[in-house]
Structure 1
Amino acid sequence: MNNQLPSTTQAKDQAKRLRKKMTEDGEPIGHAKSLELIAHQHGFRDWNTMFAAIGNRPPEGWAIGEKVNGTYLSQPFEATVISISMVRPGWFRLGLDLDEAVDVVTSEQFSNLRKRIRSIVGPKGESLEKTGDGKPHLHIEL
């Protein structure tokens, strides 16, 4: 069994790529079959067993005291995780203490600096909330 287990999102992405490749090779398979094959590649009996082993844990590095980086309102940041709680499977409420304050206003007329932020982040490291141009408010590199 592989000691480096993928996250649920990564495993599902692997299954999608496998299904696409098999279809291109003229041997189409269904979604469930591709999940089973990915589970077998990681040494598990079936997808349900692998899913239980992966659990609904946060991605690697999302623990109190860990450093993360990404973008907040399209501005790059580095931060320390100061709180984390699961909202629902795959979704976590994170509290971040930014190394350097981020200006959340785009106007030249004034500034509004934020040093601490809280947001609910999904399995791809992105918040549901979006800016006017469709980008997530918060994106954490996985």
Structure 2
Amino acid sequence: MTNSENGTAVPSADTLKSQAKRLRSAMAEKQTPITQSMALEAVARQWGYRDWNTLSAASKSNAPRGWYVGQRVFGSYLGHMFQGTLKAVRAAQGGYWYLTVVFDTAVDVIEFDSFSSFRKQVNVTLNEDGVTPGKTSNGLPHMELRAL
């Protein structure tokens, strides 16, 4: 997540593409279909950028170069925004990282109104963009992480 021209955190390119896909789907439901290109350009404008190429470059410009124990971080976990601290860090093959993240405030990992399960700490594997390779059923990464 990088800072856009309006100061708002920009998610990864995968998340932005998922937003475009959801926009296309919503427009089709309203009997106003749009192309993927049109959806990407609309997402770019929503984030305050002039076009998709500029937004895509901005989302990659702050890719993490490395993580360290004690580092303050923020991001999203299972769709919930959080801030926290890295408790354990280990570099892996192919640009991947194994991290233990301790949330400042516990995150509810259940999407069910009558049941909750809060987590204060999670272990994750992230790629070089700070994103988990695993995704939720709606196509979003389990976690996206950036340094504070």
**TM-score, with normalisation over the residues of structure 1?**
0.57
Divergent runs of 4+, >3 A: none
Give 2:112's aligned residue. 107
| Structure 2 CA distance for aligned equivalents of residues 102 and 130 of structure 1 | 17
2:103 equivalent among 89, 98, 102: 98
User: 2:135 is matched by which residue type in structure 1?
Assistant: K
Residue-by-residue CA offset, 1:80-101 (whole Å, 9 max, x unaligned): 0000111213100000110000
SS at match of 1:114: strand
- Does structure 1 residue 119 correspond to structure 2 residue 121? no
Aligned partners of 2:73 and 2:146 also within 8 Å: yes
Whether the 8 Å CA contact 2:64–2:146 is kept in 1: the answer is no
Please tell me whether Structure 1 or Structure 2 has the larger radius of gyration of its CA atoms: 1
Question: How far off its partner does 1:132 sit?
Answer: 0.2
1:87 is aligned to 92
Is the Cα contact below 8 Å between 1:61 and 1:68 reproduced in 2? no
Per the alignment, do residues 61 and 69 of structure 1 end up closer, same or farther by CA in structure 2, a change over 3 Å counting?
A: farther
Name the counterpart of 2:32: none
Paired residue for 1:130, among 126, 129, 135? Answer: 135
Q: Distance in 2 between matches of 1:105 and 1:75?
A: 11
Separation in 2, partners of 1:128, 1:107: 24
Identity, in percent, stands at 32
* Alignment of 1:78 onto 2:83: yes
Corresponding position of 1:69: 74
Q: 1:93 to 1:68 in 2, by over 3 A?
A: same
> Quick one: higher RCO (CA 8 Å, sep 6+), 1 or 2?
2
Distance, in Å, in 2 between the alignment partners of 1:101 and 1:115 is 4
CA deviation vs aligned residue, 1:65-89 (integer Å, no higher than 9, x gap):
0100000001000010000111213
Root mean square deviation, CA, Å: 1.6
Equivalent residue, structure 2, for 1:35: none
Deviation at 1:141, TM superposition (A): 2.5
Q: Confirm or deny: 8 A CA contact 2:76 2:143 kept in the other structure.
A: yes
C-alpha distance in 1, partners of 2:72/2:66? 7
Q: How high is the TM-score relative to the length of structure 2?
A: 0.54
- Report the Cα distance in structure 1 between the residues aligned to 2:65 and 2:85, rounded to whole angstroms: 14
